[in-house]
């Protein structure tokens, strides 16, 4: 059973908790029995089903909203929340097994008919991307608009909720303040909390800071008073920290951590740095312990290492940490967090294949991620799974535990998109070995100024460009380059805050609305190559040798983001001279950056001239497409390169048989060989766009 915090929304757009509100009515039992009755009436004989109920909080009246005789989106969430693999069990039931014949993978001693029971709280928060659709109203309705979700596990609702907020990858550290226009005027605050927005829960917390009572908030929002009480407890604890400063007593620090306060949030509340808070916390002996998901509320011991962090007080003897790290040689893989536009399931594909290939060659693979929609967070994908936020604090707590036994070979940050890359430098500073391309080389490719110097050194062409650290500088450079131009900040993924600007007025609007231009966050202005053909190149490198895995030609002209453009592999209209030159330039860039693992390069071709757009020394969203188009396990190979194997361990595949006609099949190659990217067949990728969900927005 789970409870939505919001009313009258599609479930996937709601915040969900794995607890049901305290009530005189045994609601879990009522809905359980009602679900079974519905399934029997419909005639579901086997497999999974989903039943949604509406419950009147005043009277306890229960109505059935809908029933789906199949697994649903919430099935994945429930599977990750409980450790009970619904789809896996449903598949076995469909071929004739009964529940009592199937073993529980987690405990190894109970049957699948043993219903899961949990002794922790799970929170799911959806991730939205309204900022990608200019002109769209950021309001939640009965139509699904979320693009992903994060899940967190804690021993208390406070801890679970604040961990979920920190997992969102939106810069939140917890219940960060929300700016309410005309606040603290009461009518303005009430107006703000009455709107069904993605940030409504944080807006409610802000309303509490502005003096609204729980009754006033409940009257406007209809949020259950029990949930409002829990949010107020967090807000009141924050106020105590603001007034009294960082706790100096172990019990006080532990109490805050048990409520889910991150080091980063405590730093904001006290004016210290996150490093200061971490040092103080460790000095007081307050560190995380890890508990296992066991499906049975500790009735039986969990045999599968599927874990989450929490903080416990030694109330009844020694606090138990259930991590039990092994003595093996380990590789930690950082996932990508919640799906969003620009960073989605493509990166999870890479994480999963890294787990599979490294396990096959003898490493213990450890996965860290917080996305319940992914295969990487299945408990049997990696050898050990930590369902945790991808923040420096949470990752370091895990690494410290894992280093207590065995050997940490290193951490892979290349496969999770931009999320783990942001942690690379901080982890390296703590002495954690980063596998693959060095954090400095990653930064070189991301830092527009350093990268431009490298391009000039290699003698490669770029569109006419400049780097601006101030608003005035941006206007000056734009005048020199001329319009139209492409403007973008450093360190972004998925084209966030990137725009084609066609005149000075549009540039001024961009500077005032989209980004803050400063020395710490400069922007790059490129001449827009109108009518150019854009290409993506994916390559493997071991630091010395390079193999180009795929060359993709975009169907749309340059300027349409690569994630939105259709593309073909191999290129359908580029000459051999151009494709050979693309391979040569990719080779030079990989060696100059000392890439170990995967690299993606984007080029534009205009008038038979090649212009370099950008380099990403990490996995890109095109990796699964290239792997399937060439039948080559490039993510698996890249993982082994990062672990230290040379590229020579993977032989070049035999040339394609040119005598085979188009209506015949080529013999299947070994996926662990290096395939020729110039396949004798064409593979085409097309994007699926969600404009139907955003009325009035079509660009």
Residue 1 lies in a domain: no
Instruction: Verify that 409 and 557 share a domain, yes or no.
Output: no
Asked if the model's pLDDT at residue 9 lies above 90, the reply is: no
For 685, other C-beta atoms within 10 Å of its C-beta total: 20
- Return the higher-pLDDT residue of 303 and 270: 270
Helices (H), 299-376: 345-360
Residue 494 lies in a domain: no
Span 267-293, mean pLDDT? 96
CB 598 within 8 A of CB 539: yes
Residue 407 lies in a domain: yes
**pLDDT at 163 (0 to 100):** 97
Instruction: Verify that 681 and 549 share a domain, yes or no.
Output: yes
Which residues are CB-contacts of 576 (< 8 A; sequence separation ≥ 6)? none
Instruction: Verify that 547 and 686 share a domain, yes or no.
Output: yes
How far apart are alpha carbons 343 and 689 in whole angstroms?
A: 15
How far apart are alpha carbons 222 and 202 in whole angstroms?
A: 15
Asked if the model's pLDDT at residue 250 lies above 50, the reply is: yes
> pLDDT per residue over 314-327, tens digit each?
875 678 899 999 99
Which residues are CB-contacts of 589 (< 8 A; sequence separation ≥ 6)? 458, 460, 595, 599, 601, 612, 615
Instruction: Verify that 539 and 424 share a domain, yes or no.
Output: no
Residue 565 lies in a domain: yes
Instruction: Verify that 536 and 661 share a domain, yes or no.
Output: yes
Instruction: Verify that 562 and 689 share a domain, yes or no.
Output: yes
**Which residue among 416, 435, 454 closes a domain?**
435
Residue 343 lies in a domain: yes
Q: Among 20-24, 140-144, 574-578, which range has the highest average pLDDT? A: 574-578
Which residues are CB-contacts of 647 (< 8 A; sequence separation ≥ 6)? 540, 541, 542, 544, 545, 546, 547, 641, 674
Q: Are strands 434-435 and 407-412 parallel, antiparallel or unpaired?
A: parallel
Q: What percent of the chain has pLDDT over 70?
A: 93
Residue 668 lies in a domain: yes
**Which residue among 435, 450, 482 closes a domain?**
435
- Return the higher-pLDDT residue of 146 and 581: 581
The whole-chain average pLDDT of the chain stands at 89
Span 355-377, mean pLDDT? 96
Q: How confident is the model at residue 8 (pLDDT cuts 50, 70, 90)?
A: very low
Which residues are CB-contacts of 213 (< 8 A; sequence separation ≥ 6)? none
Is 0.85 topped by the overall pTM? yes
CB 628 within 8 A of CB 609: no
Helices (H), 284-412: 345-360, 392-402
Range name among 84-93, 256-265, 659-668 with the lowest pLDDT average: 659-668
For 498, other C-beta atoms within 10 Å of its C-beta total: 17
CATH code for the domain in which residue 413 is found? 3.40.50.20
Instruction: Verify that 673 and 555 share a domain, yes or no.
Output: yes
Asked if the model's pLDDT at residue 682 lies above 80, the reply is: yes
What is the domain extent for residue 625? 532-699
- Return the higher-pLDDT residue of 387 and 20: 387
**pLDDT at 698 (0 to 100):** 60
Q: How many domains does the chain have?
A: 2
**pLDDT at 221 (0 to 100):** 92
**Which residue among 435, 466, 487 closes a domain?**
435
Q: CA 608 → CA 51, 165, 403, distances in Å?
A: 59, 49, 53
Residue 142 lies in a domain: no
Half-sphere exposure of 97 (CA within 13 A, CB side): 15
Range name among 115-124, 135-144, 203-212, 411-420 with the lowest pLDDT average: 135-144
Half-sphere exposure of 601 (CA within 13 A, CB side): 30
Q: What percent of the chain has pLDDT over 90?
A: 61
Asked if the model's pLDDT at residue 25 lies above 60, the reply is: no
Which residues are CB-contacts of 154 (< 8 A; sequence separation ≥ 6)? 120, 121, 123, 160, 161, 162, 163, 260, 308, 310
Residue 554 lies in a domain: yes
CATH code for the domain in which residue 628 is found? 3.30.470.20
Which residues are CB-contacts of 70 (< 8 A; sequence separation ≥ 6)? 47, 48, 49, 50
**pLDDT at 575 (0 to 100):** 94
Span 466-478, mean pLDDT? 85
How far apart are alpha carbons 425 and 422 in whole angstroms?
A: 7
Instruction: Verify that 417 and 548 share a domain, yes or no.
Output: no
Range name among 112-121, 232-241, 403-412 with the lowest pLDDT average: 112-121
């Amino acid at each position: 059973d789970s409870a939505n915090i919001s009313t009258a929304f599609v479930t996937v757009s709601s915040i969900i908790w794995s607890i049901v509100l305290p009530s005189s009515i045994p609601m879990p039992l009522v809905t359980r029995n009602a679900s079974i009755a519905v399934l029997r009436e419909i005639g579901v004989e086997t497999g999974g089903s989903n039943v949604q109920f509406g419950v009147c909080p005043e009277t306890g009246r229960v109505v059935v909203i809908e029933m789906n005789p199949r697994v649903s989106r919430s099935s994945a969430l429930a599977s990750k929340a409980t450790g009970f693999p619904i789809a896996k069990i449903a598949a076995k039931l469909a071929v004739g097994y009964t529940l009592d014949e199937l073993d529980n993978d987690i405990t190894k001693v109970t049957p699948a008919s043993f219903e899961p029971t949990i002794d922790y709280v799970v929170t799911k928060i959806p991730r939205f991307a309204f900022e990608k659709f200019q002109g769209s109203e950021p309001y939640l309705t009965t139509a699904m608009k979320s693009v992903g979700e994060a899940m967190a596990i804690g021993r208390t609702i406070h801890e679970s909720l604040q961990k979920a907020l920190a997992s969102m990858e939106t810069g939140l550290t917890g219940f960060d303040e929300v700016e309410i226009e005309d606040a603290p005027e009461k009518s303005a605050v009430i107006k703000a909390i009455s709107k069904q927005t993605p940030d409504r829960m944080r807006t409610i917390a802000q309303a509490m800071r502005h003096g609204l009572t729980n009754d006033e908030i409940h009257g406007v929002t209809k949020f259950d008073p029990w949930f409002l009480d829990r949010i107020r407890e967090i807000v009141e604890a924050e106020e105590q920290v603001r007034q009294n400063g960082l706790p100096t007593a172990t019990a006080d620090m532990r109490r805050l951590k048990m409520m889910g306060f991150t080091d980063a949030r405590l730093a904001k509340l006290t004016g210290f740095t996150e490093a200061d808070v971490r040092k103080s916390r460790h000095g007081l002996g307050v560190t995380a312990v890890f508990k296992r998901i066991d499906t049975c509320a500790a009735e039986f011991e969990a045999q599968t290492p599927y874990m989450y962090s929490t903080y416990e007080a030694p109330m009844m003897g020694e606090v138990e940490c259930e991590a039990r790290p092994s003595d093996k040689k380990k590789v930690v893989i950082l996932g990508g967090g919640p799906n969003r536009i620009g960073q989605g399931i493509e990166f999870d594909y890479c994480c999963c294949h890294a787990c599979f290939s490294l396990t096959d060659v003898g490493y213990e693979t450890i996965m860290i991620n917080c996305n319940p929609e992914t295969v990487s967070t299945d408990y049997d994908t990696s050898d050990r799974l930590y369902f945790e936020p991808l923040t420096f604090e949470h990752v370091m707590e895990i690494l410290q535990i894992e280093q207590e036994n065995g050997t940490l070979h290193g951490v892979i940050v290349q496969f999770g998109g931009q999320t783990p890359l942001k942690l690379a430098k901080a982890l390296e500073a703590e002495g954690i070995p980063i596998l693959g391309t060095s954090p400095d080389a990653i930064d070189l490719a991301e830092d527009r100024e350093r990268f431009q110097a490298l391009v000039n050194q290699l003698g490669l062409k770029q569109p006419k460009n400049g780097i601006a650290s101030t608003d005035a500088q941006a206007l000056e450079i734009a005048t020199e380059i001329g319009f139209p131009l492409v403007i973008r900040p450093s360190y972004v993924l998925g084209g966030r805050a990137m725009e084609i600007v066609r005149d000075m007025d549009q540039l001024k609007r961009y500077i005032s609305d989209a980004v803050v231009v400063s020395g710490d966050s400069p922007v790059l202005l490129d001449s827009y190559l109108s009518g150019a053909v854009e290409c993506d190149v994916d390559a493997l490198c071991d630091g010395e040798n390079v193999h180009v895995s795929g060359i993709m030609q975009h169907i749309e002209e340059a300027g349409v983001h690569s994630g939105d453009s259709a593309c073909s592999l191999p290129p359908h209209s580029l000459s051999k001279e151009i494709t050979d030159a693309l391979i040569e330039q990719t080779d030079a860039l990989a060696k100059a950056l000392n890439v170990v693992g995967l690299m993606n390069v984007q080029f534009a071709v205009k008038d038979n001239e090649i212009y370099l757009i950008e380099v990403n020394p990490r996995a890109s969203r095109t990796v699964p497409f290239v792997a399937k188009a060439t039948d080559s396990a490039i993510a698996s190979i890249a993982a082994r390169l990062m672990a230290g194997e040379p590229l020579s361990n993977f032989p070049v595949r035999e040339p394609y048989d040119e005598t085979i006609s188009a209506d015949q099949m080529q013999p299947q190659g070994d996926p662990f060989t290096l395939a020729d990217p110039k396949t004798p067949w064409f593979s085409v990728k097309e994007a699926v766009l969600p404009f139907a969900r955003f009325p009035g927005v079509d660009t």
